Amino acid sequence: MKLTIPKAITACGVLGGGGAIAPTLMSAATQSEEKESSSTVRVGPQLASQEGLESAQLKIVKCADQSNLSGAVVDYGDSSSKDICWTVESSGEEMNEEDKYTNLFLKTWGSRNGNWSTAQSDWKSLCMQGEDKWVFASVGEGKEYLGLCSSSVSSSDQVWISIEGKDSSKLSIQHCKGDCWKREETGSPRQLKEKSGNWKNFQFRTQNILESAS
């Protein structure tokens, strides 16, 4: 399935196709052309408005003690859980974008099958900000990617998430920062694929009242 890409972006040589989603970094020479295309990026209020009442009752934070996780693991979007903490499995890196992840989870917890890219303003499939512009040119089987779209994020620190299983009973969300992609050396067009080992799973756990208040 191909996404509809503005003409200014397709002229830059978008990578993609097959069973993977590939981000394309746009050169500085094309930035003036892309300013006109920035109007194509909209933040839709529909998903957020649908979740207004539920989000008011839902609490999601980063798990405070990563080495002592006592709450029960829950599936993403579990309607019976209202006090949740999140963590990234087997990751010792500092999560500087904590508030960005938390906001995304709050906006999508009750509507996991919705369009995550329009649920909030930070995570996008197309980014026109900063020096390195990118777009996901195609979508794979049951998996999609979003990147943190910010003018302050450099390409070496770019943060990505993958979402898999929206239409299944269990949603899988992964995170990667920086060195996330490898280029296929054969085939046309050439594709970017995930670097194995650099993508880490998010895990969601319940919190009890005492843990939440501490």
The string of pLDDT tens digits covering residues 39-93 is 222 233 333 333 444 455 889 999 887 666 778 899 999 988 889 999 988 766 6
Neighbours of 57 (CB within 10 A): 9
Distances (CA, A) of 201 to 61, 151, 168: 16, 26, 17
Q: How many domains does the chain have?
A: 1
| Cα 115-120-123 angle, rounded to 5 deg | 80
Position 42 in a domain: no
Q: Is the dihedral of CA 201, 44, 2, 130 positive or negative?
A: negative
Position 36 in a domain: no
C-alpha to C-alpha distance for 47 and 31, rounded to whole angstroms? 31
Does residue 68 or residue 192 have the better pLDDT? 192
What does the pLDDT average to over 99-116? 88
Position 66 in a domain: yes
Give the count of alpha carbons within 13 A of 205, CB side only.
20
Position 206 in a domain: yes
Sequence-distant (6+) residues with CB within 8 A of 23 are 15, 134, 135, 136, 145, 147, 160, 181, 192
C-alpha to C-alpha distance for 153 and 129, rounded to whole angstroms? 9
What digits encode the pLDDT tens for the residues 163-186? 998 877 789 999 998 888 887 766
pTM of the model: 0.69
User: Residue 135's pLDDT band (boundaries 50, 70, 90)?
Assistant: confident
Q: Above 90 in pLDDT, residue 24?
A: no
Position 146 in a domain: yes
Structural domain boundaries enclosing 98: 7-27+55-213
C-alpha to C-alpha distance for 154 and 191, rounded to whole angstroms? 22
Report residue 32: phi and psi, to 5°: -65, -35
